[in-house]
Homo-oligomer: A and B are copies of this chain.
Amino acid sequence: MNTLDRTATAAAFPLGGIGTGNVSIGARGELRDWELANAPGKGSHLPFTFFAIRTARTGAEPVTRVLESRLVPPHTGDQGYYAGRLAGLPRLRESRMRGEYPLLSVDFADDDLGVDVALTAFTPLVPLDADASGIPCAILRYTVTNPSSRPVDVTVVGSLANPVGITGRNVFHFPEFAGQPRNEWRDDGRLRGIVFGTDLDEHDPRFGSVALTTTDADTTAKPQWLSGFWQDGVQVFWDDLRADGRLDAETEFSLDRPPYPDWFTRLRVGSLGSAARLPGHATHTFEFVLTWHFPNRPRAWQGNIRLDDTHAGEVVRNHYATRFKDAWHVAEHLAAELPGLEAATRTFHRALFGGTLPPEIVDAAAANLTVLRSTTCLRLEGGVFAAWEGSFEQAGSCEGTCTHVWNYAQTAAFLFPELERSARRTEFLHETRPDGRMNFRANSVFGNAPWDFHAAVDGQLGAVIRLYREWRFTGDDAFLAELYPGARRALDYAFTAWDADGDGVLDSEQHNTYDIEFFGPNSLANSMFAAALHAGARMAGHLGDAAAATRYREAAHRCAERTDALLFNGEYYEQRIDDVDEHRYQYGRGCLSDQLFGQLLAHVAGLGHVLPAAHVRSAVAAVHRYNFRRELTNHHSVQRTYALDDEAGLVLCSWPHGGRPRIPFVYSDEVWTGIEYQVAAHLIYEGLVEEGRSIVRAVRDRHDGRRRNPWNEVECGNHYARSLASWAPLLALSGADYDAPTATLTIRPRLDAPEVRSIFTTGTGWGTFAVDADGARLTLHAGSLDLATLTIDHATSGRLQATGVRLEAGDTLGIPARPTPSEEP
């Protein structure tokens, strides 16, 4: 990850847990994009909400600054910068942001401040623990160093506008509220700070609380600024801080006399400061903990696809709200647990960023973890996982944990498997109809009526593969047994619904992730079908449904054989259709980037090749050859645009040998990071490592903080779920593959390097491995691991094996390389 200066205005590093909502930090170190209620709000600004620093050195004028670097043009705005921006206060000259998700640092530089100051920020992220990774909080730590030999008095102050109950913004850009926000000072001896509450009913969808707290002893606070018709409060606050670095609580509510009209401002701002005298050359850290608690959300998607919203008037609780009673409670939890949570977070960060996998691979995998902690994902009471496809600026995009989009996601399956298991439960227990047709958007999570639409061939069959993936990662047979009947119905549905002529190759009208229907045989559907059949066969066999196992296995081979015969053109797989223009939105002789997506899912799930390996390799090489563009300056696309001009990217389809339909499918000329990642991973699985890496580099180069946000890959919405395919290149390159049913961990790194160090995860624990010419080491960082067989196989070490391995957190297993023959006597 490169360092970003203040001109990287697209950069916004999100803080917040899984299913909790976010606030982000921009490249100037500023707080931005307030989404604490886990509803999209890109661009939403909270007035007067910022950190400030005051330094007073002996013999020098005190200096007070907003703890952000300077604003960057354009300085447009229909009222200049509105007062809430405080753009007219002095800021620090420059900043350098470095984000390695989940850790952020921003170093500030200034000529007048007289001290060095840096921000560290994160929200705990603990692999395999969605609860510990789902705390509604942001840890904000300002580390101040006194470079001189003289002491300096330093105050760091955080100010926050009470955000509870915001309904919108008026023409002056100030928020308007339902209910009356209320600020309250609290000090329980260990923890002190401001609680930002409301007088709304606790069942109101907007009800909630926010707390800005510290465990520092020497605090200074103005829990509630003066309210008024004008902005008296901020003038008095700033002058108070500048005067002596200590804040006084206001003795009056307002300098305007009551009675107040209805439209009198409801804005309530509060400030919490921490003060310290730093001796010469000393460093002091000012820690602030921002926590929040918005327990309710409407019991309905209320989305743009317009699924039934019957219960929209009711509320459902967020999962975290069943663990914490309010924002202060969250702060108390952190006051007790933060050291452990932070240690786990930092161990995870080191496991990713301290390994030897190429930086673009690690960066892609880590940066898109933000999707799981963004407004795209919900965790409802009972731990139910539900998600949008992505997040529009001010609303969720495309509701219902869409099977054909989430099909691409790998991150949660290998880091927070309980989330994907919850999604499979929804799909197979609630959304698969008696006839096997799966609603590809789930409405059961809210108890609302199912969505009636086409089945999605890719999403539905992918769900079967992903069920297999989830079971294989955890070995939870009860889970499998419970969901298997639905999976079997879903799989059987394909034979009748999508195979018109019964030849074992899907060929009828096939709705898919391009939001249109393909007609005739194509390898997107059939690679998915073959992989799902193999997965189904193994699950059926495991559960003793031998007839089904045999039937699926035979069908898988038949499908593969005929698909290959029908569609492989000697170079890649085509769509077979007599007249490519008989139906709109086909691709015919085109080279589809997703042509072997089912095969990629099979690789990730450890199913191996489901189509002839040589043809698969040829086809993914062709995808790279034809669809990956080093630049797009002369690309003609009338569709949505995610890459342009001098940027590189993988288009969804191309027609290297002609045959482009008059109107090809509606996204054919687009560039989607989710597909780029799945193709990159596939290339790596097939040994085309440099080709795969080149695609991942292109994606991440496009997300450089100036062009786009490194922590937000967009498709139909921000934080788009498909970008979670970004864990797959890491899986492919590290080569770690865990099979719980056989208690086997196999690590076959595909990275050609003298030493490979990387993360691995299993359903019961996670850790890191290192392999080089001397052998291998496996360290378990959390959980436990009970392996019948451990195999580590890399060019430098050769094939190393251990059996009967049992590790607990903190254990390291070393396997020395067998001496090479030349070293023998």
A interface, CB within 8 angstroms of B: 9-10, 42, 64, 70-71, 73-83, 85-90, 112, 170-172, 230-232, 234-236, 238-239, 242, 255, 304, 390-393, 395, 397, 516, 584-585, 632-642, 644-645, 662-663, 666, 669-670, 702, 706-709, 714-718
Contact = CB atoms under 8 A, between A and B. Distances in A.
A637 B87 CA distance: 8
B171 A78 contact: no
A77 B718 CA distance: 8
Given A88-B669, A639-B88, A392 B644 contact: no
A83 B637 CA distance: 9
Nearest to A9: B74
A242, A395, A636, A708 — most chain B CB neighbours (10 Å): A636
B638 A80 contact: no
Given A42-B78, A231-B639, A644-B87, A236 B662 contact: yes
Q: In terms of DSSP, what is the predominant structure of the interface of chain A?
A: loop
Nearest to A393: B78
Contact of A714 (B77, B304, B638, B640): B77
A638 B82 CA distance: 10
Contacts of A231: 638-639, 666
A640 B78 CA distance: 11
A715 B81 CA distance: 10
Contacts of A391: 78
Contact of A171 (B77, B234, B392): B392
A250 to B, nearest CB: 13
Contact of A88 (B73, B82, B644): B644
A78, A112, A670 — most chain B CB neighbours (10 Å): A78
A279 to B, nearest CB: 28
A395 B639 contact: no
Contacts of A70: 644-645
Contacts of A74: 9-10, 706-708
Contacts of A666: 230-231
A81 B81 CA distance: 26
Given A71-B644, A637-B89, A76 B669 contact: no
A715 B238 CA distance: 24
A707 B75 contact: yes
A78 B717 contact: yes
Contacts of A76: 10, 708-709, 714
Contacts of A9: 74
B584 A255 contact: yes
Given A80-B715, A88-B637, A90-B633, 10 more contacts: A71-B645, A75-B707, A77-B714, A78-B393, A78-B717, A80-B670, A81-B644, A82-B640, A231-B666, A242-B636
A10, A89, A663 — most chain B CB neighbours (10 Å): A663
A685 B585 CA distance: 70
Contacts of A242: 636
A87 B641 contact: yes
Contact of A638 (B235, B585, B635): B235
A528 to B, nearest CB: 24
A80 B235 contact: no
A83 B90 CA distance: 41
Contact of A641 (B81, B634, B662): B81
A633 B69 CA distance: 12
Contacts of A73: 10, 706-708
Contacts of A642: 80-81
Given A90-B634, A584-B232, A662-B236, A83 B304 contact: no
Contacts of A42: 78
A88 B171 contact: no
A636 B304 contact: no
Nearest to A666: B230
Given A171-B392, A636-B238, A717 B79 contact: yes
Contacts of A715: 79-80
Given A71-B645, A639-B83, A171 B397 contact: yes
A665 to B, nearest CB: 9
Nearest to A170: B304
A75, A77, A663 — most chain B CB neighbours (10 Å): A75
A767 B392 CA distance: 55
Contacts of A78: 42, 390-393, 397, 714, 717-718
A636 B88 contact: yes
9 contacts: A73-B706, A75-B702, A75-B707, A78-B393, A80-B670, A85-B641, A87-B644, A88-B636, A235-B638
A584 to B, nearest CB: 6
A638 B71 contact: no
Given A235-B638, A235-B663, A663-B235, A75 B230 contact: no
Contacts of A714: 76-80
A640 B632 CA distance: 42
Contacts of A709: 76
A199 to B, nearest CB: 26
A793 to B, nearest CB: 41
A354 B681 CA distance: 64
